[in-house]
Amino acid sequence: MMRSSRRPPRGHARSGVSLIEIMIAMSMLAIVLVTIAQLSLTVARTGRINDLVARRTAVLQQQAARLGAIPYTTLDSLPSGTSTITVGGVAYKRRLSFTQGTNRITVKVVIAPASDSTKKDSLVFDHAYGSGSPLCSGC
């Protein structure tokens, strides 16, 4: 009687995973995770910058609305210069400058965070003195 050896035929897949396959999979996973971490840091940094810009813009809009609501005669008496204002727990330096014209005042507002004065936002608007109704040319 002849004994036959029980070997799998050639080309038959082995069961199990080799150490090389595990190392390649771990390396690929590490590359993907590092890339995702870099992307998340970039998104977080951009979000922080956008938050600061939005806060500065909100403060600038608040100051413009405040100054735009002041009557012409009162606006003329406000002092020019730099002052510190605090909005939402953040300190800002506000610089006002006024240019007097005939029946018109040009107001320039510059807002910069007190912690970083290089990040400035500014706004210029005219405040005109109404001498009558704009609908009545002969009044």
- Within 10 Å of residue 38's Cβ, how many Cβ atoms? 10
Residue indicated by tokens 């909100």: 58
Q: Which residue range(s) make up the domain with 88?
A: 19-128
The answer as to whether 71 is a domain residue is: yes
Q: How many domains does the chain have?
A: 1
In sequence order, the 6+-apart residues with CB closer than 8 A to the CB of 29 are: none
**Residue 45, domain member (yes or no):** yes
Would the pLDDT of 9 be above 80? no
Q: Does 54 fall in a domain?
A: yes
Angle CA(6)–CA(8)–CA(11) in degrees, nearest 5?
160
How much is the average pLDDT of 2-29? 78
Write out pLDDT tens, residues 68-117: 888 877 877 888 888 888 888 888 999 998 888 877 888 898 988 888 87
Question: What's the pTM value of the predicted model, to 2 decimals?
Answer: 0.63
Does residue 14 sit within a domain?
no
The DSSP line for 44-95 is HHHHHHHHHHHHHHHHHHHHHHHHHHS-HHHHTTSPPEEEEEEETTEEEEEE
